[in-house]
Structure 1
Amino acid sequence: MQRVFVLLLIICASSCEYFNAKKIASEDIFKEEISAINWNDVDNYPTFSSCDSLQVKTDRKSCFENTLSQHITNSLQNETIIVSQDIEDTILLEFQVSKTGKISIKHINLSETIEVEIPEIKNMISNSLNSLPQIYPALKRDQPVKAEFKLPIIIKVD
């Protein structure tokens, strides 16, 4: 009986360690949470007020890109462009929407033909972006964040 009692006492004494709550440092929780976040994607893309009614993330992105593309296209169509040869090419516009909803051009990739035939194309695109309606910034965890995009613009001049 004494052996059973001693055995139970040893088991009870050593099992107390399993009942202790392990403390997790707040830094460890923070690091784990940060590593779980996908920093290459946003929860909500930038948007115009005309796209607010859309609920699906991909639809809002498409609406933003289409609205922006349509605005640039309309602006360029209002310009008088004279060329010596027909042009049908694509410009790649790289831009950033800031945390405050301000759009800025990072780079405009265009062919040498467009650069020679329409030397003012960069200024035309820049001016068209200055007249955009208000842009609401992208959101990540309900906080405004900057977002970068690449938008192809098809140029066709006859």
Structure 2
Amino acid sequence: MNRIIAFLLLMTFCSCDFIEKKKVYSNDILDEELKTFNWNDVDEYPTFESCNSNLDNANKKKCFENTLRQILNDKLAKYEIIVSEEINDTVQLKITIDSQGTFVINNIVSNEVTQTEIPQLDSLLRKSLDSLPKIYPAIKRSQEVKTQFVFPVIIKIE
């Protein structure tokens, strides 16, 4: 009988650790969740209204880039650019589209020859892209997010 009482007392004192529940803090859950994110990719790329919403993500991205390229080509074709030497350059437009769909050119990178031959290139590119159709922002986990990317523009003048 003493052994049974001693065993029950021992179990009572030891079992408190088994009954105790660990607290889970919301910050710990958030930290773990943030570690699983791929911050360099979005669920849906920015898109124009003209791009069909039934397209998959890769085709939406292509549609967005092609539409942007077509608008840029159409507007730049209206300008007469005269140069003294042949230009074959890829200009990098660093672009931001915020969570409201606002389009901003952050920076334009081109080589020195292009800058010397076409000093107004920056303003022409900015003016060509200042009146775009409505842009729907990128989506990450059902939230509209800001995206930044580099858009290459080939300048070829003979």
Q: Structure 1 length as normaliser, TM-score?
A: 0.87
Taking the aligned partners of 1:54 and 1:129, their CA distance within structure 2 comes to 26
Q: CA deviation at 1:55?
A: 4.0
Unaligned runs of 5+ in 1: none
Matched, 1:34 2:28: no
AA paired with 2:15?
S
Q: CA deviation at 1:153?
A: 0.6
Q: CA deviation at 1:97?
A: 0.7
Q: CA deviation at 1:61?
A: 1.8
Taking the aligned partners of 1:151 and 1:141, their CA distance within structure 2 comes to 24
More helix, by proportion: 1
Residue of structure 1 equivalent to 2:143? 143
AA paired with 1:23?
K
Residue of structure 1 equivalent to 2:68? 68
Taking the aligned partners of 2:8 and 2:55, their CA distance within structure 1 comes to 62
Q: Structure 2 length as normaliser, TM-score?
A: 0.87
Q: CA deviation at 1:120?
A: 1.4
Pairwise mapping of residues 106-145 of structure 1 onto structure 2 (< 5 A)? 106-145=106-145
Supply the RMSD in Å over aligned alpha carbons. 2.0
Residue of structure 2 equivalent to 1:98? 98
Unaligned runs of 5+ in 2: none
AA paired with 2:112?
E
Residue of structure 2 equivalent to 1:24? 24
Taking the aligned partners of 1:37 and 1:100, their CA distance within structure 2 comes to 22
Taking the aligned partners of 2:38 and 2:53, their CA distance within structure 1 comes to 26
Q: CA deviation at 1:38?
A: 2.8
What fraction of aligned residue pairs are identical, expressed as a percent? 44
AA paired with 2:70?
Q
Aligned residues between the structures: 158
Residue of structure 1 equivalent to 2:14? 14
Find runs of 4+ consecutive structure 1 residues off by over 3 angstroms.
Answer: none
Taking the aligned partners of 1:42 and 1:24, their CA distance within structure 2 comes to 29
Q: CA deviation at 1:42?
A: 2.1
